[in-house]
Amino acid sequence: MPSLPALGLTPPDLVAAMHDHGVALESGAARRVLAELISHGRDDLSEMKRPIQAPLRLLLEATLDRARPEIVDRVVDPTDDSVRYLFQLADGAVVEAVRIPLHVMGRFSVCLSSQVGCAMRCDFCATGR
């Protein structure tokens, strides 16, 4: 059963985890694997642009938990067109993200709670409550 949450790993974390399994993984390969999973949203590592060897790929697929947070609510604020997202994490906790439109058309800022129960208490965010 997968034990490492891929979305919470850094390349050095992944190198260390593979070392613990007796496998040498170069830092560059760890960055590529995480980029494929996180930035490109791939679940199947066999579809990587620069493939990795099958034994390593199978170990990574067996070890990494590739679950993504589930969007449980999405609310558009009609007054400013901000969009609030409520995400449920694998452990059942929820965090919020807010997409805030900027004064330049098509440009946005994003506030993403980095913890459950954020203490910042921003007016536009429900996570702090």
Percentage of the chain lying above the pLDDT 90 cut: 27
Whether residue 87 contacts residue 97, with contact meaning beta carbons closer than 8 Å, is answered with: yes
Stated pTM of the model: 0.65
pLDDT at res. 65? 86
Q: What is the pLDDT of residues 50-91, one digit of tens each?
A: 888 888 888 998 888 888 889 999 999 998 889 999 988 878
Look at residue 116 and tell me whether its pLDDT is greater than 70: no
Number of Cβ within a 10 Å radius of residue 97: 17
Q: What are phi and psi of 128, to 5 degrees?
A: -65, -20
Q: What are phi and psi of 107, to 5 degrees?
A: -115, 140
